[in-house]
Amino acid sequence: MTDAANPKLASVNDRPPSPLKPIVWVQRNLFNNLFNSILTLLALGSIYFIGRAVLEWAFISADWRPVTHNPILYLVGQYPRDQLWRVGASLLLVSFLTGMSWGKWQGIMRSFALLLGIGLAILGIIPAGGQLGSLAVRAFFLINVPAIFLGYMLGSRKFVTSGWVLAGWLISFLLIPFLLRGVGEGTMLPAVETSMWGGLLVTLILAVGGILLSFPLGVLLALGRRSSLPVIKIFSIGFIEGIRGVPLITILFMSSIILALFLPPELRIDRLVRALIGMTIFSAAYTAENVRGGLQAVPVGQIEAAKAVGLNNFQTTFFIVLPQALRAVIPAIVGQFISLFKDTTLAIIVAINELLNIGKSILQSDVEFLQLQFEVFIFVAAVFWVFSYLMSFASRRLEAALGVGER
Amino acid sequence: MSDPIIICRDVEKWFGDFQALKGIDMEVYKGEVIVIFGPSGSGKSTFIRTINRIEVHQRGQIIVDGMELTHDVRNIAAIRSEIGMVFQLFNLFPHLSVLQNITLAPIWVRKWSKDKAEEIAQQLLERVGIPEQAEKFPGQLSGGQQQRVAIARALAMQPKIMLFDEPTSALDPEMIKEVLDVMIELAQSGMTMIVVTHEMSFARAVADRMFFFDEGLIVESGTPDDIFNNPQEDRTKLFLSQILTN
């Protein structure tokens, strides 16, 4: 049939409407009548004045000396300056493994590796005073960039399996605390008490450690709560409800101070480890409830199908139920991790020098800084925001990546 | 005829106070195709689900291939790996690709190598007519294609018996035939099958015997010829007249 014979066919569009030109879009959406035009102008006006005020404060009137005076303090606290290479080596290991993960898995790891490289490169060349400006520290930062690419080259090789990369991460999580803590006098690695650690280093150790430990614990508790074995079920319910009923500050106090009072001195656990345990059990209880929500969302037909093909209970749980349950609750779990990350600031009450506490002590370290709280807190808030946003970003990318084949 | 591969004696099952099965007796021989039909709530789905112990019967005896279904976990695992099941709502694993859906159990239960499992999976996809869908996820397939993957998944364990629980009830009309064709081919290949269905064309084509269930009892059984042309019970006649005029 020709188009002439069927006029309706001839008028059918063979391509989607082209997007509006910017000027037309503005006319139609922002200035389509008098009222909207006034609103648009008002909004533009307020953006201009608020933005100008903020920029003027940040670049002209704010006094950033408490931040720029000794940036190393924010990064590692009182960690002995002659031992900083150990922190540098740990960072180097993380960079290398991030690069390897990029090579192996692409996707989100690519974004992370690039962000890490760019961030560290900026730290390495930013004009800064004090020790951050020293050539050695700059070199520590800049050497991470080739390390990331070296890792990438290695990771994209065929013979490097996912198992290798995972094993690398696992080993590094055991190696890094050992490297930072050291063994004793007279060795390559003199002991550095954790009371000397501080700043972003401690914040990240509490957050990453808390997340990595509380996630599997939370999953086990969620499974335990649905177990048919009464002992496991009652223990899980008791643990979850007991912990959720208590504020984090109380848990930190109990794990740090009360526990230490009752344990004999030779059994005394390191203060940072005690805080980490407190954060972990607190976060695990919440993670468990999030995961339980996901477990309930898996249709019973999935379990029947898994059993019908002959999978046992363990295989059904790990291959069929958990993957679907966890995917359903990624946003909730990441939300829980973001709040865990921000809750690391509460470790302040058990005298741990995490990032916010460092900021406060810097304020008190110099009479001239006493009035500059605003600058310090804005800076600390910005650092927290960057990390929290990265987690949120990762969550969205992860959801999108796992959404393939979603019903 | 040899010994029956499935023996059910006086099988009873309650859900709370409601008795779903009121004493079912059935013997199925190797290579037989059994069609079970009846109104909803008659216990037909519950019955075939007791055969691989997705539902647990409370009284009576079920013996599959010489093994009695009891609480013994090893028996249950052994029996489940000899029985394939196809569900009304497909129940494919949505987070796994078609190929992974099919190879999961052979790899982990039968302990086959990944290569062997994938080779056989590909042959089965060929057999059910969708070899090109191996890398897709269930959510990207039509209902008829999903059900055919589910059949391939069940066949991958190389079962001696296949159970079908209303395999075409959730399908759009134009997709029913593609699934029935696969089932007919399977029946003709000599597979022992128990099929809960209202597709009487399927029953006419390949069923050896038919069982009419109502209110947890077998009301009537016989060859398709007996059931369609000479039903004895009034309830059977009424039910057949309702579904055949539709």
For every residue of chain A, which 3-state class applies, written as one string? CCCCCCHHHHCCCCCCCCCCCHHHHHHHHHCCCHHHHHHHHHHHHHHHHHHHHHHHHHHHHCCCHHHHCCHHHHHHECCCHHHHHHHHHHHHHHHHHHHHHHHHHCHHHHHHHHHHHHHHHHHHHCCCCHHHHCHHHHHHHHCHHHHHHHHHHHHCCCCCCHHHHHHHHHHHHHHHHHHHHCCCCCCCCCCCCHHHECHHHHHHHHHHHHHHHHHHHHHHHHHHHCCCCHHHHHHHHHHHHHHHCCCHHHHHHHHHHHHHHHCCHHHCCCHHHHHHHHHHHHHHHHHHHHHHHHHHHCCHHHHHHHHHCCCCHHHHHHHHHHHHHHHHCHHHHHHHHHHHHHHHHHHHHHCCCEHHHHHHHHHHHCHHHCCCHHHHHHHHHHHHHHHHHHHHHHHHHHHHHHCCCCC
Distance from the Cα of A328 to chain B's closest Cα (Å) equals: 11
Average pLDDT over all residues of chain A: 88
pLDDT of residue A365 exceeding 50, the answer is yes
- Whether A407 has its CB under 8 Å from any CB of chain B: the answer is yes
pLDDT of residue A131 exceeding 70, the answer is no
A137 Cβ contact partners less than 8 Å away, ≥ 6 residues apart: A72, A84, A131
- Whether A305 has its CB under 8 Å from any CB of chain B: the answer is yes
> Testing the interface with B: which of A307, A309, A311 to mutate, by most B Cβ within 10 A?
A309
Of the partner residues B89, B105, B140, the one whose CB lies closest to the CB of residue A309: B105
Contact criterion met (CB < 8 Å) for B93 and A306: yes
The pLDDT confidence band at residue A185, using thresholds 50, 70 and 90, is: confident
pLDDT of residue A2 exceeding 70, the answer is no
Of the partner residues A301, A311, A405, the one whose CB lies closest to the CB of residue B105: A311
Distance from the Cα of B105 to chain A's closest Cα (Å) equals: 6
Q: Which of A91-95, A142-146, A165-169, A399-403 has the lowest mean pLDDT?
A: A399-403
Q: What is the pLDDT of residue B171?
A: 92
The pLDDT confidence band at residue A407, using thresholds 50, 70 and 90, is: very low
Distances (CA, A) of B89 to A30, A35, A105, A301, B74: 49, 54, 34, 8, 28
Contact criterion met (CB < 8 Å) for B80 and A320: no
> Testing the interface with A: which of B45, B69, B91, B101 to mutate, by most A Cβ within 10 A?
B91
Give A68-81 pLDDT, tens digit per residue. 888 888 989 889 88
The pLDDT confidence band at residue A193, using thresholds 50, 70 and 90, is: confident
pLDDT of residue A301 exceeding 90, the answer is yes
What interface predicted TM-score (ipTM) does this complex get? 0.92
The pLDDT confidence band at residue A11, using thresholds 50, 70 and 90, is: low
- Whether A398 has its CB under 8 Å from any CB of chain B: the answer is no
Chain A hits for B170, CB-CB cut-off 8 Å, are none
Rounded to an integer, what distance in angstroms lies between the CA atom of residue A262 and that of residue A249? 19
The pLDDT confidence band at residue A189, using thresholds 50, 70 and 90, is: confident
Please, which residues 315-334 of chain A have a Cβ atom closer than 8 Å to chain B? 315, 319-320, 323-324, 327
Contact criterion met (CB < 8 Å) for A310 and B139: no
Q: What is the pLDDT of residue A13?
A: 67
Is the full-model pTM beyond 0.95? Answer: no
